[in-house]
Amino acid sequence: MPTPEFGSLERVPIRSGFSDEARDFTPWLAANLDRLSEQLGLALELRELEHSVGKFSLDLLAEDVQGRVVIIENQLENSDHTHLGQLLTYCAGTDARVVIWIAPSFTSEHLAALEWLNQNTHTDVGFYAVEVELLRIGESLMAPNFRPVIRPNEVIKAAGHATAGGEWSWEGYVTELKLPVDRVAIAKAAVERLSELIGERDLAWQIRYRKGYVAFQRKGGFNVIVVDLVWSKPVRLAIKLPESPEALGLVNPFPTIDPYWLPDGREWSWTIPSLEMLLLIRIFLMGCC
C-alpha cells in the first residue's frame, strides 16, 4: 500500500489575509461568528457591528444562548495597553458578562491581567484571550484559526451562572436604568401584545428580560423578536430575518413608520412612538413569523 503524501501546515502573516482590522477583519468576523463560537464552546449571536459606547466604538456586540452580553475587541498587532483599556471601558459601558479579546499574540503581562480579572471580578463575568492566525497547506486557501489561550475558570464561573440569570423587570428599567415611565409603558404593552399573539399561535418561544431590552427566544436561546428600550427613542421593535425584507418579499406592516434594515444583525426594525401603533403588531407577526 503506497504511503500517502502529506503537506506541511504553514502559518501565514495575519495581514496577508486582513490588511486592515476595521475594514477587513471585524466585518469578516461578524459574518463568521460561528467559527469563533465553535472554538470557545459558546453559541454567539451578533447584535451590532461597531457598537457605540459613549464616544468610543466597540468592534462587536453579541450575546450567547443564556442571553448574556458578549463584547469582542479585535486587533491585528500584538496585544497592547490601549486595547486592554478599551476592553474594560466597553465592559463597563455594556454590562458585559463575556469579554473576548482577539489578537495575533499576547504579552505575558496582558495574559496575567486577564487571569487576574477572571479570579477577582464578579463570578458571572468571564474574560477570554484568543489568538488568531492564518494557516494553509502549500498553495491552498488561507484559513483563519482561533486559539483560546485564556479562559474563565469554569468551575468558579458555573456557580455564578446558576444564580445570576441576568433577568430584569419593568420596575428595574425605571428605577435602575432611569428610563422614562411612558417609554417603559409602550415597551410593556408591546411585550404583552406579542406574548398574547405568540400564545395564540402556540409558538415555543420564551421571553427574556435583559438589561435595556426584552427578547422572545426560540429553542436554543436565539432572539426572534426584540423590544429595545435603550437603543432608540422611544422604543425599538426588531425582528430577526434570514435575509433582507426585500429578498423575502415582505411588506412594511407599519405604513406610517419607516423601517430600517441592519444587515450585520439581520434585524428589521421600527421605532414605536405610541401605544396606538401597537394595534398593527398582529399584522406584523402574522406576516413575518
Are 238 and 187 contacting, i.e. CB atoms less than 8 angstroms apart?
no
pLDDT band at 30 (very low <50, low <70, confident <90, very high): very high
pLDDT at 28: 93
Q: Which one-letter DSSP state was computed for residue 53?
A: E
pLDDT band at 25 (very low <50, low <70, confident <90, very high): very high
Predicted confidence (pLDDT) per residue in 37-92, tens digit: 888 877 888 888 988 888 888 999 998 877 788 999 999 999 999 899 989 998 88
Does CATH place domain 9-163 in 2.60.120.330? no
Q: Which three cell numbers stand for residue 35?
A: 467559527
pLDDT at 95: 84
Does CATH place domain 170-288 in 3.90.1150? yes
pLDDT at 26: 92
- Whether pLDDT at 191 is above 60: yes
- Dihedral angle, C-alpha 178, 266, 86, 118, nearest 10 °: 90
What percent of the chain lies above the pLDDT cut of 90? 16
* Domain residue spans of the chain: 9-163, 170-288
Q: How much is the mean pLDDT over the chain?
A: 82
- Whether pLDDT at 274 is above 80: no
What percent of the chain lies above the pLDDT cut of 70? 86
From residue 5, alpha-carbon distances to 2, 54, 136, 137, 143 in Å are 9, 55, 16, 12, 21
Task: Decide the pairing of beta strands 126-137 and 98-103.
Answer: parallel
Span of 111-115, 159-163, 273-277 with lowest mean pLDDT: 159-163
The DSSP code sequence of 159-222 is: HHHHH------HHHHHHTS---HHHHHHHHHHHHHHHHHHHHTT---EEEEETTEEEEE-TTS-
- Whether pLDDT at 161 is above 80: no
Predicted confidence (pLDDT) per residue in 79-129, tens digit: 999 899 989 998 888 888 899 999 999 998 899 999 889 888 776 788 999
